[in-house]
Amino acid sequence: MSVFVSTLQRLQPGRAVAAFIALASLAATHAFFVEMGIFRKSLDVKGKHCYITGGSSGLGHALALELVKRGAHVTIIARGQARLDAVKAELETHKGPSQIIQAISADLTSPTSSSDALEQAVKAHGGKCPEHIYLCAGHSLPQFFIDASPEELKSGLDETYWVSAYTAHAATKMMVSQRVHGKIVFVSSFVGYISFPGYSPYAPGKYALRALADTLRTELVPHNISVHIFMPASIRSEGWENEELRKPRITKQIEEGDEVLPAGDVAESLIIGIEKGYYQITNVLVTDLMRVLSKGNAPYNNIFMDMIYLIIALVGVPIWSKYVDYLVKKDAPEVRKELKERGFYADPAAASTPK
């Protein structure tokens, strides 16, 4: 950037302005074509080993199916062997004769189990590390912070952060030691940008994943390993249906009207984001608005579109935030009433509306 500025300074004012306009026009044209997919490089996974955690359901399942269709060797990891076997059988109906499909049961909240699962997966490939790591495992158990037990709070971090971080750690070490050039793709969430009531056991881990990905994005540059992080909104799946059964009333009110997309559509958005070379990948407009306000030192996706998003976000997000505060305050009397009925208060008489 300093070289660019000094060059402009050496030009005559008129020529400097003309040069700047020309460069801006060229960049805008390139950004437009990339956004439209004209210069987009297709994700080529044919013959490559794609390792997918959480591959037996939801986004992981949909992603595994698409990558098999593209010719990849696919290993899916999850806890339940029965579900894994069923998904493996489905994937095998779409594979070619030379493709290797594996399904491994493992508890990825354990560092040892995470490492062992990866070691088991590479045996079928002569010990070579997977070129692509997709970290889709995890789930949410929405509830209020005061209702969660210490065990549930710990589980919240285990099932959102460590369930991906342990695998990323084992895979990164193996990729670097073998000099494998590849990709690591984290899956966070909309609430990895901004959270609200009901997600206290879940959102911290998703924020932490973003911090880890932000660090590795540059740390792994010397090793030719690219890092992406996907920030999807709600995905229609069995996991989402289970969340709906236990979400606090206020959480449902805040999310009312949000579109819940099929896992296949969400997987397609992830792949498109990778093909465009985006680091932080989103799948709905409202997440892009949160992204441009919360990106820190992360690179822009499309600088011109991001400037438009930023203008919208600077107006829209504070309004949305005020609306969330309004909903929470409106619901407060009911919250206090329910806590009083449950005998939560040490002094029930003190449960009146504070001034």
Catalytic residues: 202, 206
Say how far residue 339 (Cα) sits from the centre of its chain. Answer: 34
Quote the CA–CA distance of 320 and 314 in Å, as a whole number. 11
Distances (CA, A) of 46 to 50, 95, 212: 10, 11, 28
DSSP 241-289: HHHHTT--HHHHHHHTT---EEHHHHHHHHHHHHHTT-SEE-SSHHHHH
Quote the CA–CA distance of 335 and 233 in Å, as a whole number. 26
The enclosing H or E element of 137 equals none
Bridge-based pairing of strands 132-135 and 73-78 is unpaired
The amino acid at 279: Y
Tokens linked to 102: 């594996």
Contacts of 186 (CB under 8 A, 6+ apart): 135, 164, 168, 209, 210, 212, 213, 227, 228, 229, 230
